[in-house]
Structure 1
Amino acid sequence: MLHPYPHAPRDGALAEPCRAPRLIVVSPHLDDAVLGCGGLLAMCPGSVVCTVFAGEPSAPVQAKWDTASGFADSHEAIRARRREDARALALCGARPLWLDFLDAQYARYGAMPRVEAIADALAEQFARFEGYLPVCPFGLWHSDHVLVGAACRSLLRTRRLARYFAYEDAIYRAIPRVLHESFARLEADRLRASAMSAQAFGRRSARQIGAVKRRAIRAYQSQMRAFGHVPPDVERAEHYWRVERWPSSMEREAATRAPSGLF
């Protein structure tokens, strides 16, 4: 089930129009998009963030991360975290969509989702927001992130997407070799990644964008409580990659005749 947030708060949000494209950004959890590509979101007002693991167990349960975040149970946690997510995304000029998959800490209370189930759900949202540029995480280290990354790659392999832009999963990208392993997975799937400049999405003041991202991160109060501080990696520069299938000879020939641009 999809949960739109129809009346996201707008205080302090980036709302002015710009020529940057609108994005549909895939987020494993209720914070990952802002942590990993909050600057990109702030550059592209009017974008949508689709969070995969935003569901709650049918009955309230206690999980270690929720307790560390200051919550009594999973119901309190998910509802509060959705409010935080709506607030953080509004500061970036974006709006949230929440899918009902349960994250790994709740796995014992429901079946772990299949990669194809996630891929099907994402394909539905990409079709719904046709014309928005798809942006997906690489899917690094954490089991939920790995599932989402695999689902996004599946959409390329099955030609339900022609290409997407990838962002590096904040915090996990700092673990040695995990990004290298992600490139190896792309190669195994006969996919390729090309580095992109942030300026390809538009030009905004780096100082302003950085300030917006920091405010948005602070909106995830419960998660910063659990971390104990703002993780240093989220202050590092964001990096984006264009991910697509290796083209056939016919596709290469067609590409030489196509106009240049993001897509």
Structure 2
Amino acid sequence: MSDIFARPLVMSPHFNDAVFSCGAMLAAHPGTVVYTVCSGCPAADVTTEWDLRCSFDNATHATQARSLEDDRALDILTAVPERGDFLDAQYVPFVPLAHAPTQEAIAQALDHALRRHGARTLVIPFGLVHPDHELVRRAAKRRAVKAYASQLKAFGPDGYDDVFCTERCWKLVFAPKETSRALRDQDGKTRNAAFGIRKN
């Protein structure tokens, strides 16, 4: 096992995300722990459109079946399953608000899982559109930010909230030399265009 992936733990938002997004990595690193965050089971009488499309008549049947499917998939890849008790976003509207997962609770659960397994590498499949993926990503970042204890103390309790805002970055793409020469004598805004600076 490479030092890069020494004692990895995969934080999977849903039952399938670790295998779908990191299956090759899991196969290459037997014994990897897969912590599935949103594996909690709501009341049996809850039914969602997605569960019906998957041929389940209620959420309890869906959660039980997905858990068994996940066990089989992880066994094939020699990975070790561990389950959180947080609800999938599709079930949250059916429970009291106090039962909805939060970044803080997920970050705390992640911290316990990392310590419990002595994991040295955290792997997170980043989702693009699903709210559970976004919640897990933000929780992982919150845990990482908390590592800077001395600096956060200096910022004060509310002095670093902006680090949890939506991130923005700039990408620098060098334009062909001909384009750069053609724009050399124009105003600053146009010169920036020669370097292909664009906001992502």
TM-score (norm 2): 0.68
* Alpha carbons 2:7, 2:118 under 8 Å: kept: no
Higher relative contact order (CA 8 A, sep 6+): 1
Q: Report whether the alignment pairs 1:154 with 2:154.
A: no
**Distance apart, 1:62 and its partner CA:** 0.8
Equivalent residue pairs, number? 149
Distance in 1 of aligned mates of 2:120 and 2:75? 18
Distance in 1 of aligned mates of 2:28 and 2:6? 9
* Alpha carbons 2:22, 2:125 under 8 Å: kept: no
Distance in 1 of aligned mates of 2:122 and 2:106? 15
Instruction: Report what 1:94 is aligned to.
Output: 79
2:109 equivalent among 121, 124, 127: 121
Distance in 2 of aligned mates of 1:59 and 1:67? 14
Fraction of identical pairs, as percent: 41
Instruction: Report what 2:58 is aligned to.
Output: 73
* Alpha carbons 2:9, 2:119 under 8 Å: kept: no
SS at match of 1:26: strand
SS at match of 1:93: coil
Instruction: Report what 2:122 is aligned to.
Output: 134
Deviations 1:71-92 (A, max 9, x none): 1110100001000000001111
Distance in 2 of aligned mates of 1:48 and 1:151? 18
5+ residue gaps, structure 2, are 149-164, 170-200
Q: Report whether the alignment pairs 1:56 with 2:41.
A: yes
SS at match of 1:105: coil
Instruction: Report what 1:26 is aligned to.
Output: 11
The letter of the residue matching 2:46 is V
The letter of the residue matching 2:75 is A
SS at match of 1:97: strand
SS at match of 2:57: coil
* Alpha carbons 1:24, 1:126 under 8 Å: kept: yes
The letter of the residue matching 2:118 is E
**Distance apart, 1:107 and its partner CA:** 1.1
CA RMSD of aligned residues (A): 2.2
**Distance apart, 1:138 and its partner CA:** 2.7
Asked which structure has the greater CA Rg, the reply is: 2
Deviations 1:13-60 (A, max 9, x none): xxxxx6663321000001001111100000000111000000111343
* Alpha carbons 2:43, 2:59 under 8 Å: kept: no
